[in-house]
Amino acid sequence: MKLHRLIDSTLNLERRLSPRPGEPSGVLLLSAGGLGDTVLFSLVLPRFLELARPGETVTVLLRSDAARMSFVFPPEVTVLKVDFSRLRHLVYRRRILTELYRGHYRLVVSTDYLRHPDLDEALAFACAAPETAAMAPRPWRKYDHRLNTHRRRWSRLFESGDMVQDKVVRWSRFADFLTGQHRAAPLVRLPPARMPAARTLPAPTVIVQPFSAVKKKQSPPELYSRIFASLPQGWQVRIAGHPSDLDKNPEFRPLLDLPGVSFEPAPFAELAGILRGAALVISVDTACMHLAAALGVPTLCLASAAYVGEIVPYAPEITPPNLHFLWQPMECAGCLGDCSQPLVGGMYLCVAALDSEVILAEIQKITEGSP
């Protein structure tokens, strides 16, 4: 048995020997996705807030990296950050699991279809809440036995349907299951009250996010050079990203030498206002794209076919009119990143197959009539 599981067993025994005073209260929602998932989850979050009883607090547990996007949440939500990369370190694990137990929540809900038995599930079970709920977990060969064994530890388990399914639609159906309501999935659009003020920019500006944690989803810098040259005269370009993105992708640095092109390192909470002031956002299928779409900014996503049916393009019923997807249909679409095709220039075949002329034409169509 691995050491961190021994810690879990020891803490479970300690919990039985140290009962908590008072009645359990409050709702804990676990959302273990990344930055983009956090944007999308925020759209459905108000429906999960209905699970709270009068006077109860709702806490959302996020990965510490994803918590940078929690500014899109309703203000009444409490955010609990957990560094998942440290959960196998025994001292940190013990502290977090003990903190969750002392939270004395009445209801714990895992909102993730993809779960890990030693990470998000361990966090949920550490709470020892009288009520728990989750979706039946996504199949995962390495952990299927343990995930299936854990099914009996949930008070309510929702069979959410096909493995490949739009995330927002799946969350909406899960919320319906828990609340007893039946409502259409929400459009990808934040309420005005949760949008930051738009920044006034000195010229019509295109925000470009060409970087991805999965480099194989990135289009080449040559494509962006052509895009920049095609923009109306006087327009400016800001390439958004963390400074480390340029260190990891030095081939993009020469783009910053082009006229009117600069680098925009603002963190997401600040970038959101800049996005709202932009004339157009061009992005790979990453968190910046989801945020721009939800903020109502004209957005063009240059997508791979890997997550078709689950992430991009969105289901038609939730796609806002400001968002445009370009992706290359493939027989292997929806591979979820388990690509079976040979790479082309370091890219997924579906990314390399994106038609630059179609992209330029789409940008021209979007920018027509812009100041």
Long-range CB contacts (within 8 A, 24+) of 85-90: 87/4, 87/118, 87/119, 87/122, 87/123, 88/4, 88/118, 90/3, 90/4, 90/7
- Does the pLDDT value for residue 1 go beyond 60? no
pLDDT for 330-364, tens place per residue? 888 878 788 888 898 999 999 999 999 999 999 99
Rounded Cα distance, 70 and 285, in Å: 19
Q: Is residue 211 part of a domain?
A: yes
194 in any annotated domain: no
Residue 291 placed within a domain: yes
Residue 117 lies in a domain: yes
Q: pLDDT tens digit string along 92-151?
A: 999 999 999 999 999 999 999 999 999 999 999 999 999 999 999 999 999 999 999 999
Domain ranges, residue 260: 202-364
Check: CB of residue 212 under 8 Å from CB of residue 248.
no
For the residues 221-250, what does the mean pLDDT come to?
96
Give the model's pLDDT for residue 305: 86
pTM of the complete model: 0.94
User: Are 247 and 99 members of one domain?
Assistant: no
Contact (CB, 8 A) for 298 and 277: no
- What is the number of structural domains in the chain? 2
Count how many residues are written for the chain: 371
- pLDDT tens, residue by residue, 291-345: 999 999 999 999 998 888 888 999 999 999 999 999 998 888 878 788 888 898 9
Percent of the chain with pLDDT over 70: 97
pLDDT of the residue at 332: 87
Let me know whether 150 and 260 are in one domain.
no
Closest CA to 300 of 234, 242, 223: 223
Tokens representing 75 are 């203000």
Look at residues 164, 179, 194 and tell me which one is the last residue of a structural domain: 179
Res. 19: pLDDT tops 50: yes
Q: Is residue 253 located within the same domain as residue 290?
A: yes
Q: What pLDDT is attached to residue 371?
A: 58
Query: Both tokens of residue 320?
Result: 């806002």
> Do 39 and 165 reside in the same domain of the chain?
yes
22 and 168 in a single domain? The answer is yes
Q: Give the whole-number percent of the chain exceeding pLDDT 90.
A: 83
Mean residue pLDDT of the chain comes to 94
| Residue 210 domain flag | yes
Q: Is residue 261 over pLDDT 80? A: yes
Distance CA 41, CA 72 (A): 10
Mean pLDDT of 256-269: 97
Same domain for 175 and 214, yes or no, is no
For position 132, which CATH number holds? 3.40.50.2000
Q: Average pLDDT of 223-249?
A: 96
pLDDT at 3: 65
For residue 313, CA distances in Å to 40, 63, 167, 305, 309 come to 13, 25, 11, 9, 7
My answer on whether 238 and 340 are in the same domain is yes
216 and 174, same domain (yes or no):
no
Both 229 and 263 in one domain: the answer is: yes
Domain membership of residue 355 (yes or no) is: yes
Q: State whether 323 and 283 are in the same domain.
A: yes
Mean pLDDT of 211-218: 93
The answer to whether residue 195 is domain-embedded is: no
213 and 170, same domain (yes or no): no
Same domain, 161 and 223: no
Closest CA to 346 of 220, 175, 173, 195: 220
Report how far residue 304's alpha carbon sits from residue 175's, in angstroms, rounded to the nearest whole number: 29
Q: Is residue 369 part of a domain?
A: no
